[in-house]
């Protein structure tokens, strides 16, 4: 079976996923799984029966637009914009007539009140602009999976065809015909298209996570063969080949060091900021960064066997495992559509049987009134209006929601797992304390100014004096650095380095052992002059945030690639009881799955590339805005600052938004419960139904705007919660 991922521009919700998956389930030798948030479909198929173009044709048959190239994506986006602009332009004159129909004293040109002109305007809106609603509604009905598309088709078609009937009956009256509802058809189509358009633009604010991961990989490698080094495409390398990696170059592929030694930045894999020393026979990972010396590597894995490829596959697969939250509107539509259709048919039959005239015309009006009165405008507006207002409030507070699904999950979160480095801690080493005569810091900082190690940067950030001239600088891999300043031999590094050069050491480091600190010493002419304590500090608001979560019955977890000693120390400082350490990226996703078996809904907060699988696997992924683009891309919520109180704020605002959505649905339903019986019994003609529908929609919008009064329970004061 061949695996292929195709981007589809007009996937908007879980209902689209069900429609696509149901369609391909009926075909032989192919299956489809939809990634709703990234608008992608993953196909597994027999390439003897299908290719990319055939699959794309099948998608078009059911009303979905495959995007096979970046140029096609831009064209699809432009076409979508043009369609929307044309729809709005055509809708405006019909919207003008609506105010006249509702009794407002507003001048309307007589020609606009002509039923035939309104028919001419409404027809392209319904059958061209709204064509994909009909396509998708057809396949929803076929799959017995009704959603908002079916509601839109039902309401707009009822208003459209009833208006045609009225236009024919009153063909001799060209103005102020109260029972024309062409504007209802136009407004519903336009509103839903507008909502889908804005939602698509929000999702496009982040780049494609999988493409970002792919771009991490090197495209070429320096192949060493028969004493000659040649730059070749990465695809030409096979396991067993030897490749050369220069300083400040990416390691192209996974392998073993067979010559040289260096420091490798593996933060893309582990999330830890400290480079790792690599010597003979040490493993290196493709896409990590060689930062000091040239090394030679024997390749052990290529293609899909590399660690980076496994991360990409894990991100993709966990997105499929992650439950797709079905929107409340779609859940309601699944029941509401058949109920309304049944009521309308019963109304038609009963009026046909029991009315005095007993003709089709007298039965048709109340039956259509039921469909018009139950028009999905209020239901369609209930969710997007609240989410739009809530998202606006969130954005101003530094929170970016990427989809409506989060609002329906936030009230169920009962566990939150945190990455350590860069999430609970600041993510970069800082000098905590310098023990010894401060005058010697100029030697320490001057020597470290020639290194690009994160420890060196932390020392230079701490030092604010002038640098001395350094000669004979060299890096001692895994130990430290050394050089000559003013004729003196200066070395900066670990205790192991001090022992190796027989430097006398009178500093006691026992108070810092087992607490996650890094200890460096400076020796001058083999005499240790200072001890520098370096750490990745815990964020000042982390402990209070953990306490708030616990008080709400939410269990905190810590998942980190760091070693056990450091992990336990940080967890104890924050009162986190559940800890996972020495964890690889794909293992983080597996741990999230294990926790999910015990908990109802789990969230994950992370910032690194190594967090991407876990962010996808979690029911809700929070990305800290200072983190990698890939972590942000794969998350459901982006916190646009490092302030951890935003986790609490995001949950609180989502709960308020969800309550607002439910109140909208209550109003929309209350309206339907009262109005549908009145329409069925003939007490409400379609004209009054239209007024009621408009009033219902206005109430939904006003209720959504009431969210602007929301106040966050946590307020940042002096950098704390």
> Would you name the residues annotated as active-site residues?
419
Residue written as tokens 């972590």?
A: 631
Gap between the Cα atoms of 156 and 136, Å rounded:
15
Collapse the DSSP code of 688 into the 3-class scheme (helix H, G, I; strand E, B; otherwise coil) and give the result: helix
Give the integer Cα–Cα distance in Å for 238 and 253.
10
**Distance between CA atoms of 125 and 262, rounded to whole angstroms?**
65
| 578: β partners | 557
**Three-class DSSP category at 587:** helix
Give φ, ψ of 603 to 5 degrees: -110, 155
Task: Give the up-direction half-sphere exposure of residue 213: CA atoms within 13 A in the CB hemisphere.
Answer: 26
3-state SS, one letter per residue, for 536-570 = CCECCCHHHHHHHHHHCCCEEEEECCCCHHHHHHH
Q: Determine how β-strand 527-535 pairs with β-strand 518-524.
A: antiparallel
Structure tokens at 45: 């198929």
The whole-angstrom separation of Cα 569 and Cα 558 is 12
Query: How far is residue 136's CA from residue 20's CA, in Å, rounded to a whole number?
Result: 9
Pair 385, 700: CB distance under 8 Å = yes
CA pair distance 444, 397, nearest whole angstrom: 42
Tell me which residue of 708, 160, 671 sits closest to 381, measured CA to CA: 671
Residue 663: alpha-carbon gap to chain centroid: 27
Instruction: Please name the residues in contact with 336: beta carbons below 8 A apart, sequence gap of 6 or more.
Output: 151, 374, 379, 672
Residue 93, SS3 per DSSP: helix
What tokens appear for 642 in the block? 């490092």
């Amino acid at each position: 079976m061949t695996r292929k991922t195709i981007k589809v521009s007009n996937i908007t919700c879980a209902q689209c996923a069900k429609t696509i998956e149901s369609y391909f389930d009926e075909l032989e030798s192919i299956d489809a799984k939809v990634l709703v948030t990234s608008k992608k479909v993953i196909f597994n198929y027999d390439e003897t029966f299908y290719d990319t173009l055939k699959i794309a044709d099948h998608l078009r048959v059911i009303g979905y637009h495959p995007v096979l190239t970046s140029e096609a994506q831009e064209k699809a986006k432009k076409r979508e914009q043009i369609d929307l602009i044309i729809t709005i332009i055509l809708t405006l004159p019909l919207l003008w007539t609506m105010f006249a129909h509702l009794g407002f004293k507003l001048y309307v040109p007589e020609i606009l009140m002509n039923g035939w002109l309104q028919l001419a305007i409404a027809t392209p809106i319904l059958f061209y602009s709204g064509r994909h609603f009909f396509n998708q509604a057809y396949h929803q009905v076929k799959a017995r999976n009704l959603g908002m598309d079916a509601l839109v088709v039902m309401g707009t078609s009822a208003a459209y065809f009833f208006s045609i009937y009225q236009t024919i009956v009153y063909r001799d009256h060209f103005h102020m015909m109260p029972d024309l509802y062409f504007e209802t058809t136009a407004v519903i189509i336009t509103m839903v298209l507008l909502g889908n358009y804005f939602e698509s633009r929000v999702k496009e604010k982040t780049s494609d996570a999988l493409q970002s991961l792919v771009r991490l990989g090197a495209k070429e490698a320096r192949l060493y063969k028969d004493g000659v080094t040649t730059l070749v495409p990465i695809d030409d390398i096979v396991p067993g080949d030897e490749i050369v990696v220069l300083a400040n170059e990416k390691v192209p592929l996974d392998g073993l060091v067979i010559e040289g030694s260096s420091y490798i930045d593996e933060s893309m894999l582990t999330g830890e900021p400290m480079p790792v020393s690599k010597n003979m026979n040490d493993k290196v990972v493709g896409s990590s960064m060689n930062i000091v010396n040239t090394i030679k590597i024997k390749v052990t894995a290529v293609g899909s066997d590399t660690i980076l490829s496994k991360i990409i596959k894990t991100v993709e697969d966990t997105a499929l495992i992650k439950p797709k939250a079905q929107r409340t509107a779609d859940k309601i539509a699944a029941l509401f559509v058949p109920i309304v259709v049944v009521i309308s048919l019963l109304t038609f039959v009963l009026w046909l049987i029991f009315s005095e005239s007993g003709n089709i015309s007298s039965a048709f009006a109340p039956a259509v009134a039921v469909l018009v009165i139950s028009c999905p405008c209020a239901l369609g507006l209930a969710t997007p209006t609240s989410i739009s207002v809530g998202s606006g409030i969130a954005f101003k507070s530094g929170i970016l929601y990427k989809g409506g699904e989060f609002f329906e999950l936030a009230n169920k979160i009962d566990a939150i797992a945190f990455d350590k480095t860069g999430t609970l801690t600041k993510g970069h080493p800082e000098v905590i304390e310098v023990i010894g005569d401060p005058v010697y810091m100029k030697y320490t900082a001057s020597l470290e100014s020639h290194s690009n190690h994160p420890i060196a940067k932390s020392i230079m950030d701490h030092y604010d004096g002038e640098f001395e001239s350094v000669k004979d600088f060299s890096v001692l891999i895994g130990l430290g650095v050394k050089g000559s300043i003013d004729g003196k031999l200066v070395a900066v590094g670990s205790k192991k380095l001090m022992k190796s050069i027989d430097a006398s050491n009178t500093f006691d480091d026992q108070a810092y052992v087992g607490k996650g600190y890094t200890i460096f010493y400076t020796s001058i002419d083999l005499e240790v002059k200072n001890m520098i304590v370096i750490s990745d500090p815990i964020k000042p608001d982390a402990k209070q945030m953990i306490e708030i979560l616990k008080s709400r019955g939410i269990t905190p977890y810590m998942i980190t690639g760091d070693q056990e000693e450091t992990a336990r120390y940080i967890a104890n400082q924050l009162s986190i009881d559940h800890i996972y350490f020495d964890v690889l990226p794909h293992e983080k996703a597996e741990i999230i799955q294990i926790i999910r078996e015990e908990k109802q809904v789990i969230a994950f907060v992370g910032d690194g590339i190594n967090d991407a699988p876990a962010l996808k696997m979690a029911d809700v992924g929070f990305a800290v805005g200072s983190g990698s683009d890939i972590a942000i891309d794969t998350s459901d919520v982006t916190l646009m600052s490092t302030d951890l109180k935003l986790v609490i704020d995001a949950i609180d605002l989502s709960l308020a938004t969800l309550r607002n959505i439910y109140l909208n649905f209550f109003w929309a339903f209350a309206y339907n419960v009262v109005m549908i019986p009145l329409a069925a019994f003939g007490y409400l003609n379609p004209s009054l139904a239209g007024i009621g529908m408009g009033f219902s929609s206005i109430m939904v919008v006003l209720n959504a705007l009431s969210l602007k009064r929301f106040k966050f329970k946590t307020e940042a004061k002096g950098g704390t919660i």
